Structures are given as C-alpha cells and as structure tokens.
Chain A
C-alpha cells in the first residue's frame, strides 16, 4: 500500500469541520466533526435526509452559510490553502473561479427580469473570464501584474486551451479543414466536426487535436487552428457555454427569459454558469431533485462527460442513495450533523455497516426490487374474505375509466390543449393501480377527474358501475364518503389554522357522523391507526414534520372508512426513510382493510413497492398498461424503457449483508 508513487493532492480537504447556527434557543450545532476529501476529477456524494447537515457542509466550503451560520472549528483546505477563515471578500475572489455552484432550485435561482445571456455575462464578468485562467488566478490571489508583465506573460504563455472559436470564422475554419483533409478524412468525420466545433466552446487546442487525430499533418493542423481559432466574442462564449451544458439552439435560447425555459433547461443554464469560469471544483446541491427522472438522467450524464473532459471535481449533495451510488466514486453519509459512514460508494452501499446507512439502504426505493411485504398478508385477507362468503356480489372493478378526455383552454391560443387524451383503465377491488408519468403527462388531471374535482371533456368515470359525473348533490356526497384523496403537498393539504383534531374530525362533521364524543373516540382510533401519538390532537400542522402531516392526511382520508384512496404524489415530498414509513403504512392499511388505491406518482421506484398494476402516461396518452412485474421485466414501449433506465442506481445490485 505504501509503494503508491503518484498519489494526487486532494483539491478539497475538509477536516473536523464544525458549523453552528445561533438561534433564539441558543447555538445549534449543524455540523459536527465532518471530515472528507475530494480529489481532482472525482465525484464525491454527500448523502443524508433533510436536516442532516449535508447542504450546510457544502455551503461552508463556499462561504455561503445562510443567516447566523458560522464555522466554529476545523479546517477547509482548497488546493492546500486554508480557506475556513476567509472573509466574504476573499471568498468572492475564489468563488466561481476555483469553485462553482449549481444550486438546488432552478426556479428561484434565475432572475426573471433578465435574459439568460445577461445573467451568464454577469457570471463571466464577475470572474474576469475575458482573460486567461492563470491570470485570473493570479489576480484572485492578489498578485496583480503590471501591464508590461501581463503582455510578456501573454506572449510566452500558450493559451491555446483558453482561446475559443468565434462564430465569424467558423465557416472559414471548416472550409480550410475540409481542404486540408481532402482525401484523408471521411465525410462522416467532417460532419462530426461541423456538429462539434461550436463557436464559443471549442478551443484552438481542441481543433488542432481533432485534426491531427483525423490524420492531418501536425504542422498544417496547427497552422489552420492558429489562423482561424482566434478567440470569440462574449455572446459566442455564452452560447458555447450553454451548448456545453446541453442546451439545444443555444445561440437563440440565450436571448430568452427564464420563464421561457423548462425546469431542465434552467438547470442547464445554471450548470453553464457554475462552470463558466472553469472551476476545478463544482459543488452541486441537489441539482436535479426538482426535475423529472429522464431529464435528471440526461443532465447528469451530460454533466459527467463535461466534468470529465474538463477535469472538474464534483461535490454532489443528494438525498437519493441510488443516484449517489451510480454517480460518485466516494460517498459520505451524514446523519444529524455527523458523518456516520464514508468510503467507496459501491462498497458502502453494498456492505453498509452503520445502522443508519443500513436503514437508508433498506428504505431506498430505487434500490428495492420487490413489492412491500404486506402484499402476502393482504392476499390472505383477500382470499379469506372470499372463502367466508363475504358479500362480493358486486363486480370486481371498483373504478372504471373509459375514453377519458380533458381539454383546457390555453390563454392566447385558439386550439384547446389536450391534457388527457383517450385514457381507459379499470381499478380492481383491493389492489393498487399506479399511474406513472412525468410532469405534464396528465396523470394528476386523471386523478382529479376520478375524484370529481374536475369534469371531463368527454368519456366517463364509473364508481361501482355508476357514472360519477351524472351524480346529484346527494349521490356525490355519498361518493365522497367512499372515495378519499391524499394529496402531494403535506404542507398545503392541512389547514394551518386547524388543530390536528379538527382536521381529522372535519370529514366526520361534514357527513354529520356521530356526536362530539364518538367523533373524538374515532379521531383517537385513527391516530393509532397511522401510528401517531394521541397527544398531537391539540397541535397544529406547522409543528409536525412533512411525514407526520402526511400521516395525518392519511388518517383524515381514513376517517369515513372509504373503499378507495386516490393518492396524488402522496410520498414524493418526503425523505426516503419517512417515505418508506408512509408507504408501509399505506400498504398495511390496504392489507387490513382491503382498500383500493389509485396511486399517482412520477417515481417508478415507488411503484415497484406498492403497485399491482401500472399505467404509464406520456403527453396525456396512455402508453402502457400492465402488471407491475411485466412493466419492470418486460417493458413494451420505448418510453417505459427510458423511464426505467432513468431510475438512479436501478441497475446496481445493492443490499444488506
């Protein structure tokens, strides 16, 4: 082990880092004794649930601790230099230049009143990006050169890896390259050049290298590169950066405003900004958590190639174990401000040793390979019901959706937007049907029509054989008793002015069930059912965590003893462990009570844990409908295959020892 000759220097060394926040209740330790290293070109992931200190650790490296946060101990070394005591001014000099940031929320990190190119230009100007990297570093380090020194430096220094192709000379370069390569290179190679030699992105060095590789004489290649690759304008460079980040039609897109971008495109713009100054370390704080899985995969794949080619190290913060396992070489698991386990990512996740890591690995939906266990139990309950001659004379289909269409008016456009286009499926009693799709697939619209919160443009939804959209007020009230929703946002679906008791009691009140006393008994019973202490009755939703609120929402949905629960992204906003807990709760309730679930989600990994049947939707259309096993083992459409491929860590064999 000692004979390792060329051990690289770590680019980032964090040792015994301690971070505290001052609150009205005294100092709170957010990070305790965190130690980790990042090497050049490496991807390191910090994994943990919300509040574990993972973002705080990363932000203290950048000198961007929010509010009252401050470093109280330990050291942070960037390229061997201690930076933990730096002032904001010193941080400003190295931020962007030596370390870039890709922030979490692409929606709020772009200024809506400026065009994208203006915002990238600002990032470039802030880092003096119009001069060479070495000069910038010298300036940043306070070694200001005189004008004469600078010119001398420029003359001596080979800056061919910093000189970009300008859009004005691009066609001339291609022409010259074609001429020089006549007879040597194939049309294909030439087409690749045409595609890859983007103005503002490809450098003199790249061009020369490409040509030499294709067989053009070295001298000739250098001559051509020197003649035509002579630097680019600022707008070329901005388009080039966006192009590198994987944005199509970058030059045109750069002139647009953030609201014209989709979430994925905004994240690409932020990646372009984070990498604009070619930092050697990129800190990515949950960069893709707000995006659809397929978009996430595309962006991370691209970021991977990009950082590989630039030699950038990435410190990657995520709550998704599968994602960390797939992308990072080294993984750091944090829990309550402490590092509980770290090491090579595959090894940590395949052989977790700390009980917390074990718990995380066991709960991670993307790593699970089978449906939750109470299925068996549930099947037993189900068969027992049938054996005992339970009155099951009604058809086995509880909810039936036929040729459902929903069109919306789009402001400023004449034709209607088809959010749901001819969707049909049946939900069988006592089973779970999951509707899977990415944002904009129309899955939530279907759920709202099943819940009678929206009227379909055409098509029918039947409950126990009756068309729910033909119900009168009394029938509708009765329908609502039997079909209950659990919504996505645990912060929004409970009224903040209601106590937990009033929230759970509300459906009983609306349907005028029982008196004060029996209602209270029922609320207590429901709290037991969702494993919440009865003492929370007098509390308000803001005192509970997201998972606890979601359990309260489940208790409320269960208050009327419904047959069907429509869960719209019910676990999407929760941490993995909490998500796992709520999924188990839902599954157990189904087993005990023979409930039928319509489960709307974007997360195929969750589907595997809870669903019996899967409906895959894309752009409002149903693209696949099969049992869960069939969908996972033998997907029929390309879209489903893409979705499955995009599950982070889906192909890794992970598990407990």
Chain B
C-alpha cells in the first residue's frame, strides 16, 4: 500500500466492484441476432422504406395494366371514327376522344404495355451487354481493357438522343417495336459498362480472391463465383434508375415521330399528336402525359430506394 501515498488526488488505486462490471466470454458469438446478408439487409431496409412501398405498389399496378389491359377496357385503342373527334367524356369513355376520334382511356391503358416493354427490355439488354463487356474489361485488364474502354469512349462521345435519331432514320421502314429497344440499348450500354468495369476492378483486388486462388480456385471460377456477385450491386442500382429514363426516351423518340411504328399505341406518339390542341383541349394532352409521368416517377423512386438499400453510403441523413 506504500504506492498509494505517491498517487495524486483522484488518481488513487481503484478497482470496480466485480458485480457491477460482469465479465463476458471473449468474443462470444451473438446467436440470437437474425441472419443477414447484404441482400437480406437490403430487403429489410427496402421493406421499411415508404418510398419503396409506394413505388412498388404503383409499379405492380402498372405491370398488371400492361399484362391485362382488357380488364380495364374492352375497347380497341385503334378503333377510331372521326365522328367522335374531340368528343367530350361520356359513359364508357371517361377521358373522351382525341382528334382522330379514338378513345383516350383505351389508348392510355394500351400505351402502358409499350412503355413498360420498352423500358424493361432495354434495361435488361443494357445490363447484360454493358455488364459483360465491363466485367471482361475490368477482369482481364491490359490490352483487352484498353481496347474495350476505347470502344466505350467512342460510344460515350455520341449523344444518346442524336445517335438514336440518326439510326432510327435509317430504319424508318421497320415496323417492329424492337428497333427502338435495340437502338436505345446500343447507346445505353456504355454507362453500365463503365460502372461494371470499375466495380469488377474493385472486387478483383479484394483479398478473398487471393484466398480463393490459394485454395485452388481458377481465375474464371473466381470471376463467376466471387467477383461478379460482389460487383453486381452498383450495376443493379444504375440499371433500375435508368429504367425510367428509357421509358421517357421512348416517349421522346415517339414524340419526334421516330419511335413506335404506326399501329403501336404509345404515350409519346399520343402526346405528339395532342400538342396541336394544347390550347383548345389540353385534356387530350394531359392523360397520356400524366400516365407517362406517373410511370417514370414510380421507377425513379424505386431506383432511389434500391440505391439507398444497396449503398447506404449514398444516403443523406
């Protein structure tokens, strides 16, 4: 006890009562906590996000409309008589008629299918094409990366809208909905490729790849089993956010008269024909525009929610 004399006030020897500071086992495993993976965590975050719930409900509804338009209307959107031109809303025709005498309600309902098909198909192609090319560039590096990256740069230098206009002009005669999907995919894959390349590069340098190699794994096995699953999240985030922009772009192209071939009902096309009557009958313009805006907004909200869930760093709180 001789040492305590030299201690300054407030610095005397102190030992906490053991009952107040119980010891726990070193590094005990918390067996009660629920299992979480990145995806399970993301799903849990999503489930609680009101933004996601609203967006998901709206999208589910839109998808239902697109798949089963007949549930909502039994009118043919392409059956138009000039007798009904600019007709007001009547029973069975809640939105009235456009200039050609087509039922606006039916056209809005059937337009859903076009917009959704174009948006989803383009996104899938873009993710696949961009993802594979980006992954190859990031994984192999060296001259393969150099060549692929320059190709990406070249496509990046062409403005999407301008490129789409030029290419679509060349295929004016084609009547397939796929021409517009392919054109948008052709200029859209580059941004995904860049993201995929950088996230593969990042995942490639993580230690678990070295660990796997030392366990006997081959580089290709590492790519498919470890690198791609770990590089997927940012690609998916950009994919979902850009879905909305493809829907809007399709409408823009259709508005410019380059989009959907005649016979296909498209919101963009309808907006285009309605613009001449903006001052006299704005409602003809309003309905397809509103449908487009709601759909695009729902997908943008979904994309935001997915980004927040998969990449908590980007959240601003």
Contacts and interface: CB of A to CB of B under 8 A. Distances in A.
Interface of A: 1, 7-8, 10, 13, 35-37, 39, 330, 335-336, 338-344, 347-348, 353-356, 359, 451-453, 476-477, 480-481, 484-485, 487-489, 492-497, 499, 506-507, 510-511, 532-533, 535-536, 538-540, 542-545, 547-548, 553, 556, 560, 577-578, 581
B29 A533 contact: yes
B216 A507 contact: yes
A353 B37 contact: no
A36 B8 contact: no
B78 to A, nearest CB: 48
Interface stretch (B11-19, B109-117, B236-244, B255-263): B11-19
B11 A497 contact: no
A341 B230 contact: no
16 contacts: A340-B16, A341-B14, A354-B18, A451-B214, A477-B216, A487-B207, A488-B207, A493-B207, A495-B208, A495-B212, A497-B229, A510-B212, A510-B221, A540-B35, A540-B36, A560-B215
Contacts of B10: 10, 13, 35-37
B26 interface: yes
Nearest to A44: B11
Contacts of B211: 485, 487, 493-494, 553, 556
A511 B207 contact: no
Contacts of A35: 10
Main secondary structure on A side of the interface with B: mixed
B226 A344 contact: no
Interface centre among B3, B9, B11, B229 (most CB of A within 10 A): B11
A371 B230 CA distance: 41
B21 interface: yes
Nearest to A489: B207
A344 B6 contact: yes
B206 interface: yes
B38 interface: yes
A548 B11 contact: no
B36 A542 contact: yes
Interface in B38-55: 38-39
A7 B29 contact: no
Nearest to B10: A37
B35 A493 contact: no
A492 B16 contact: no
Contact of A343 (B11, B21, B37): B11
A532 B29 contact: yes
Nearest to B2: A347
B210 interface: yes
Contacts of B226: 495, 497
A497 B15 CA distance: 44
Given A344-B6, A487-B207, A492-B207, A339 B14 contact: yes
B213 interface: yes
B166 to A, nearest CB: 42
B16 A339 contact: yes
B11 A355 contact: no
B208 A493 contact: yes
Contacts, number: 155
B217 interface: yes
B162 interface: no
A481 B36 contact: no
A344 B6 CA distance: 9
B6 A543 contact: no
B36 A356 contact: no
A339 B12 CA distance: 13
B31 interface: yes
Contacts of B208: 492-495
Contact of B7 (A343, A481, A532, A553): A343
Given A495-B230, A545-B27, A510 B213 contact: no
B157 interface: no
A15 to B, nearest CB: 9
Nearest to A574: B27
A341 B16 contact: yes
Nearest to A576: B26
Nearest to B48: A24
A581 B29 CA distance: 14
Given A338-B20, A487-B207, 15 more contacts: A7-B9, A10-B9, A39-B8, A342-B11, A342-B14, A344-B3, A344-B7, A355-B23, A356-B23, A359-B23, A451-B214, A477-B216, A548-B27, A553-B211, A581-B26
B216 to A, nearest CB: 4
B5 interface: yes
B27 A343 contact: no
B91 interface: no
Contacts of B206: 492
A347 B3 contact: yes
Contacts of A532: 29
A506 B8 contact: no
B230 to A, nearest CB: 6
Contacts of B37: 496-497, 499, 540, 542
Nearest to A499: B37
B33 interface: yes
B129 to A, nearest CB: 23
A355 B18 contact: yes
Contacts of A7: 8-9
Given A344-B6, A493-B207, A496-B38, A480 B14 contact: no
Contacts of A480: 214-216
A305 to B, nearest CB: 23
A507 B38 CA distance: 23
A347 B215 contact: no
A578 B16 contact: no
List 5 tightest A-B contacts by C-beta distance, closest first. Answer: A492-B207, A343-B13, A37-B10, A480-B216, A540-B37
B13 A344 contact: yes
A207 B11 CA distance: 37
Contacts of B6: 344
Contacts of A538: 35
A10 B206 CA distance: 49
B11 A37 contact: yes
A319 to B, nearest CB: 14
Given A485-B214, A533-B31, A539-B35, A335 B14 contact: no
A344 to B, nearest CB: 6
A41 B18 CA distance: 32
